A and B are shown apart, each in its own frame.
Chain A
Amino acid sequence: MPEPLLTLDGVHTHIDQYHILQGVTLEVPAGGVSVLLGRNGAGKTTTLRTIMGLWHASSGTIRFDGRDITALATPDIARLGIAYVPENMGIFSDLTVRENLVLAATSGPPASDRLDWLFGLFPPLKTFWDSAAGTLSGGQKQMLSIARAIIEPRRLVLVDEPTKGLAPAIIVSVRKALQELKETDTTILLVEQNFQLASRVGDTVSVMDDGRIVHSGAMAELAGDRDMQERLMGLSLEAHQ
């Protein structure tokens, strides 16, 4: 097992009076795709937002590459090489596709070979290069959201339900992008309800319930064990095919 790139140790997060994360302990190994599964309201999105510093952990420790990032501000966390693709895409709709991408390249203008690679992954971005991002379709917005996160090489990308509400053809594009990204040095922590996609791209898996991690292991093990799927999530791979 490679050294974990990201470690959450007993992380608790409160949002107003609600105690959402109740001692999350999670290890994300360097390289590959780690998947976070769980029913709605289990705390998956809160986990990602807490890692990004968008909500602060009330207790516990978050370490990235050995460094304690629990109390860091969000921009400092981003500048360590952690990118976040939120569930609602969070694109800047008044800006053009080009401006969205240039804005995300915080260390200078985006490299042309990187742009070519992104255009290969998501051709519509080239087509609508100078269009306002707000005029894109839902799938194109998701492509832009992912492209914006990886416009520069990142060490860790947090992706929150990238296929939610998308057409099957777009889901294939997203899956291919994740698989290509996996081939680079980038580590991915993926929250995904689509178990079929998760099981195809994921290397390791953690399952959340009621703000805690209730299972961690290899994705192949969970994908091949229908009883375990039923027990942990009340679903089976076949049911989602």
Chain B
Amino acid sequence: MITRLLSGDRPGSPILAIVLLAIFLCLAFAPFLFPGTRSLETAARICIFIVLVASYDLLLGYTGIVSFAHTMFFGIGAYGVAIAISAWGPSFTSILVGGAAGVALTMVLALLIGLFSLRVRAIFFAMVTLAVASAFAVLVSQMSWLTGGEDGLNYAIPGVFKPATKLMDGRLFGVRLDGKLLLYYFVFVSSLVLFLVMLRMVNSPFGRVLQAVRENAFRAEAIGYRVVVYRTAATVLSASMAALAGVLIAVWLRYTGPATTLSFEIMIDILLMVVIGGMGTMYGAVIGATLFILAQTYLQNLMGAASDATSAIPLLPDLLDPGRWLLWLGVLFILSVYFFPTGIVGRLRGRAA
């Protein structure tokens, strides 16, 4: 049953299996295990970024395509929902129509980018995606009458997802059963389903062709596969998944703006999460996203505590000052690339083999 759910893609290492199970359980019971707004925000971000990072890995890790337009597709999904809710009010129809429109626009754009630029060398494709993503970000900023410009859009969500909505009287394990809890599980289940769909994709015959294309495109052609068609299909599928992750973040945050969806910083974060977790392994997205977002959220606190604890020692408190958290995040990244060149999942699977 579980093997079928995972499309036959077992973790391949006992340690990895335990880590993945722990992450799954923590996310599944996050509202009860880690009560509080900040921890719930973190858990929801992890769920959404697992989908976003896995969708990027579908492109980078499984097909060998470097794209810088992934946050653009993420943003299109989010803006689809934001614009629809702003125009028609907070209803599920708005989410559905806005999300569908975002995904449809994403598919068309990804198809066009793929068909026009996947025939050229990889570096040119990367440059084309960078140019298109930059142009799109400028366009969103300029079209403030529709997108809210740099300020973005604030909007309400359907009443059933509002924190003020009581689902049941009383508490379960000390947690209020309200709309926020329902929204978290909406995000969690949607992310889980999208992740399993991607796992199915990469373990299907289609996924094997993508891996073959990544490894030796000429050879894949000589067997009879049209490399451009497969690369374009991977681009469209990956972009669609990113757009769906965008839909989730739009509903979760109740705000959509350039900083939360389109920024180049998010693009770099995604890239780092893929590399840290392990390219070409869907489970790498789970580990990479979890570690990175936890570090982003809690590293400052951890450093504050470490700085206080080492106050008697010269120099160390300064080095561990919470203001230097980005420096330490960089150091952690360098160390992880040095010790896990194939990513954490690649390393764990290699040790188990």
CB of A132 to closest CB in B, whole Å: 9
Q: Contact check, A103 vs B212: say whether CB atoms are below 8 A apart.
A: yes
Chain A residue numbers with a CB within 8 Å of B216 are: 90, 92
Partner of A106, one of B219, B223, B227: B223
Contact between chains at A104 and B223 (CB < 8 Å): yes
A95 to B208, Cβ gap below 8 A? Answer: yes
Q: For B280, what are the chain A residues with a Cβ–Cβ distance below 8 Å?
A: 94
Distance, CA A217 to CA B226, complexed state (A): 37
Q: Please measure, in the bound complex, the distance between the C-alpha atom of A185 and the C-alpha atom of B41, giving whole angstroms.
A: 66
Please encode chain A, from 85 to 109, with 1 for each CB lying within 8 Å of some chain B CB and 0 for all others.
0100010111100010011101000
Central interface residue in A84, A103, A104, by most chain B CB within 10 Å: A103
Of A72-80, A121-129, A221-229, the stretch lying at the interface with chain B is A72-80
A11 contacts chain B at the CB level, 8 A cutoff:
no
A54 at the interface (CB under 8 A from B): yes
Contact A75 B224 (CB under 8 A): yes
Query: Does B224 lie within 8 Å of A102, measured CB to CB?
Result: no
A54 and B221 contact, CB distance less than 8 A: yes
Let me know if B218 and A78 touch, CB within 8 A.
Answer: no
Measured CA separation A90–B212 after assembly (Å):
10
Check if B170 is an interface residue, CB within 8 A of chain A.
no
Nearest CB on B from A69, distance (A):
14
Q: Are A78 and B215 in contact (CB under 8 A)?
A: no
For A78, list chain B residues within 8 Å (CB).
221-224
A92-B215, A94-B215 as given contacts; A54 in contact with B222, CB under 8 Å: yes
B218 cross-chain contacts in A, Cβ below 8 A: 54, 74, 90
- Interface positions of A from 39 to 88, Cβ below 8 Å from B: 52, 54, 73-75, 78-79, 83-84, 86
In B158-214, the 8 Å CB interface with A consists of 205, 208-209, 211-212
B328 interface contact, C-beta 8 A: no
Q: Is the CB of B211 within 8 A of A95?
A: yes
> Is A103 a contact of B222 with CB atoms below 8 Å?
no
CB distance from B350 to the nearest CB of A (A): 11
With the chains together, A83 CA to B221 CA distance in Å? 11
Q: Quick check: is B225 within 8 A (CB to CB) of the other chain?
A: yes
Contact at B208–A75, with CB atoms within 8 Å? Answer: no
The answer to whether A75 and B226 touch across the interface, beta carbons within 8 angstroms, is: yes
Cα of A102 to Cα of B211 in the assembled complex, Å: 13
B183 to chain A, nearest CB (A): 39
Contacts of A73 in B (CB 8 A): 221, 226
Chain B residue numbers with a CB within 8 Å of A79 are 224
B221 to A, closest residue via Cβ:
A74
Bitwise, B226-258 to A at CB < 8 A (1) or not (0) is 110000000000000000000000000000000
Sort A-B residue pairs by CB-CB distance and give the 7 closest, nearest first.
A78-B224, A90-B219, A74-B221, A106-B224, A84-B222, A92-B212, A75-B226
| Beyond A54-B222, A94-B215, A94-B280, 4 extra complex contacts between A and B, CB < 8 Å | A73-B221, A74-B221, A78-B222, A95-B212
Q: A-side interface residues toward B, CB under 8 Å?
A: 52, 54, 73-75, 78-79, 83-84, 86, 90, 92-95, 99, 102-104, 106, 148
Return 20 A-B CB contacts under 8 Å, by A number: A52-B222, A54-B221, A54-B222, A73-B221, A73-B226, A74-B218, A75-B224, A75-B225, A78-B222, A84-B222, A86-B219, A90-B219, A92-B215, A92-B216, A94-B280, A102-B205, A103-B205, A103-B223, A104-B223, A148-B223
